[in-house]
Structure 1
Amino acid sequence: MADNTILVPAVELAAKNKAHFPSESPEYRQARNALLAEEIELRRHIERVAALRRTLPPGGVIPEDYTFEGQNGRVRLSQLFGDKDTLVLYSMMFGPQRERACPMCTAMLTSWEGTARNLRERVALAITARSPIERLLDFKKERGWNNLQLYSDTKGDYTRAYVSAEDADVPALAIFTRRDGTIYHFWSGEMSGEMADPGQDPRGAPDLDPLWTIFDLTPAGRDATWYPKLEYPSLTTIK
């Protein structure tokens, strides 16, 4: 959206809404149209923030071409780009001290598994963790991930530089760009637990996992005490 674009007020756009559903009351329709105006404003705010992100000046040049262990052996961060100029690199919580991978990271990456094929049309995507590569590949097979590429930050140099200086087992998302052969850090999520609002689970914005976006559409919304699990009781299939 261009900076000089003149937008129609959200309330006016919402007034053009022709949607109606069976048995809805006038009170419901009035409240729904008021909510629609707020949803339009939210859409615009998301676009404004994305536009601001794109105007960031170049970040720092990576201090070194970090080494990871992949399915086929050692690989450098520069090689993770493939033929793309942008690399999306997610560090999941699955350090060697963990008995199992983080359920939250696993839930999100399971969603990413489906969209990875589309993402790779425009950007490179890689997942890293501190556990040995054999452990990561076993977990990948267990979860049925075919489109996600996992790499072990065996030495931990990348993790200590861009995830946690203390080498803590925490999640992180970093975006890197490559320009004329030089790799720059572009953006990383920086919202921490200290920035959480009252009554809310710490999270960034927008959410990277559609799980939470869908919950936001439901009457109960998010449950601040509910978290994904690696396994659930078997569900009866509706026939």
Structure 2
Amino acid sequence: MRRADRLFLIIHALRGRRTALPARGLADTLGVSQRTVYRDVADLQRSGVPIEGEAGIGYVLRKGADIPPLMFQPDELEALVVGTRFVQAFAGERLGRAADAALLKINAVLPAGLRERSERSRVFAPDFGQHAALKAHIDDIHQAIALRRVIALGYADERGAASTREIQPLCLAFWGGSWTLGAWCRLRQDFRNFRLDRIRECVMLEISFLENEKSGFAAYMAAMEAH
């Protein structure tokens, strides 16, 4: 990791904290020794960054401190632009609008040279023709995942056989051509994956669920890795 990136991550870790962050926690996060953290913090303090605290106690940013943002490298900026284009094309209306707004904000604070570099990027993500219902499903499912609400799902399998399920949505995954919903099926009492283009109906119910060791996201990921 570049030292400049490490210094930025230290500031980012301290930003908004109300309690002191021990050097040990910073060292674990950055994968460096505590001695390196002490040296980096001292360098930041000498350069005018308002970090308060000391070794053995922890560090905080002084309340009200205004830290200027890190300027992007050209390749980092292009990665953001390309990522935003993919979100705009494939991630539903709500995240697409948010990505568009984020890119406008980034471009608004860039110097002219970097702004031109972002506009010249030739890596695109053309919409492969997702219909409006599919994008609406992405938005609805994304909201249900965030709220931990059960979904009533009308689904057709690869043979066209229809079924109705109540599921606990856990994650959305894009496989470069289709979206998949990872979920806990309350009927089968097991994990299931559903292709979004086969969903016929998607209704968020007034039923909340809690993730646990059996049916939560961590267990889902472990099950997928095992397969």
**Structure with larger Rg:** 2
Q: TM-score band (shorter)?
A: under 0.3
Larger relative contact order (Cα-Cα within 8 Å, sequence gap ≥ 6):
1
Question: TM-score by structure 2 length?
Answer: 0.21
Question: TM-score by structure 1 length?
Answer: 0.20
Higher strand share: 2
Higher helix share: 2
